[in-house]
Amino acid sequence: MTTHSPRFWRCIPQRYRLTGTHCTMCNEYYFPPRTICPNCRRDAKMEEHKFKGTGTVVTYTIIHNATEDFERQTPYNLAIIELDEGPRLTGQVVSSKSGIKIGMRVRPVFRILGKEGERGIIYYGTKFVPIED
């Protein structure tokens, strides 16, 4: 019945703990992790890096129409966030009394990302809240 377990499981370190990679050759940080550095390619020297999770909102939208999986949560904020170490990711910004704006500082929280229906697994992962909260 439920088919996505392995695909979700593989990415648990990234979704739960923001584990990415760092190329010690060119000093670039990657999240999600890249096994190959686009700058150095086969000359890359990659090591694991756990990101702090704090960052800044680069751009955002407020989603009113979502796919079935997210329909109940609308409207919700989605943003592109630049982590302090450099890489950017896409994530939800929740529990914000002050709304959302470009330049807002955020920190990570552990939340439910979704569920495979009533009977399937629960996808946990990282969302973001304003840093002062």
Partner 1 sequence: MPSGIVSYGVYIPRFRIRASEIARIWGESEDIGRSLNVFEKAVPDMDEDAVTIAVEAARHAVDRAGLDPCRIGAIYSGSESHPYAVKSTGTIVGEAICTSPAFTAADFEFACKAGTAAIQACLGLVSSGLIDLGLAIGSDVSQGAPGDALEYTAAAGGAAYVIGSRDLAAEIESFYSFTTDTPDFWRREGMPYPEHGGRFTGEPAYFKHVTSAAKGLMNKISVTPEDYDYAVFHQPNGKFPVRVARKLGFTKEQIEPGLVVPHIGNTYSGSCLIGLAATLDVARPGDRIFVTSFGSGAGSDAFSIKVCDKIEEIREGAPSVRDYIAKAQYLDYAVYAKHKGKLRL
Partner 2 sequence: MRSVSIIGVGCTKFGERWDSSLRDMALEAGVLAISDAGIAGEDIGAMYVGNMSGGRFIDQEHIGALIADCVGLSRLHIPSTRVEAACASGGLALRQAILAVASGYQDIVIAAGVEKMTDVSSGTAADALSAAADREWETFFGATFPALYAMIARLHMRKFGTTQEQLAEVAVKNHHHGYLNPLAQYHMELKVEDVLKSPMVADPLHIMDCSPITDGAAALVLAPTEVARKYCDTPIKIIGTAQASDTLALHDRREITTLDATVHAARAAFSQARIEPSQIDVAEVHDCFTIGEILAIEDLGFVEKGQGGKAAEDGVTCLGGKMPVNTSGGLKACGHPVGATGIKQACEIALQLRGQAGKRQVDEAEIGLAHNVGGSGGTALVHIFSR
Residue ranges binding partner 2 (CB under 8 A): 7, 11, 32, 58-71, 73, 76, 78-80, 88-92, 102, 113-114, 123, 125, 127
In this structure, are residues 105 and 56 in contact, taking their beta carbons and an 8 Å threshold? yes
Interaction residues for partner 1, span 24-53 (CB under 8 A):
50
Cβ-Cβ contacts under 8 Å for 95 (sequence gap 6 or more) = 109, 129, 133
In this structure, are residues 93 and 106 in contact, taking their beta carbons and an 8 Å threshold? yes
Interaction residues for partner 1, span 70-129 (CB under 8 A):
72-73, 94-95, 97, 109-113, 122, 124, 127
Q: Is 56 exposed, middle or buried, given 0-12, 13-18 or 19+ CB atoms closer than 10 A?
A: middle
67 binds, among partner 1, partner 2, none (CB under 5 to 8 A by kind): partner 2
Binding part of the chain for partner 1, among 13-21, 35-43, 59-67, 78-86 by CB under 8 A, reads: 13-21
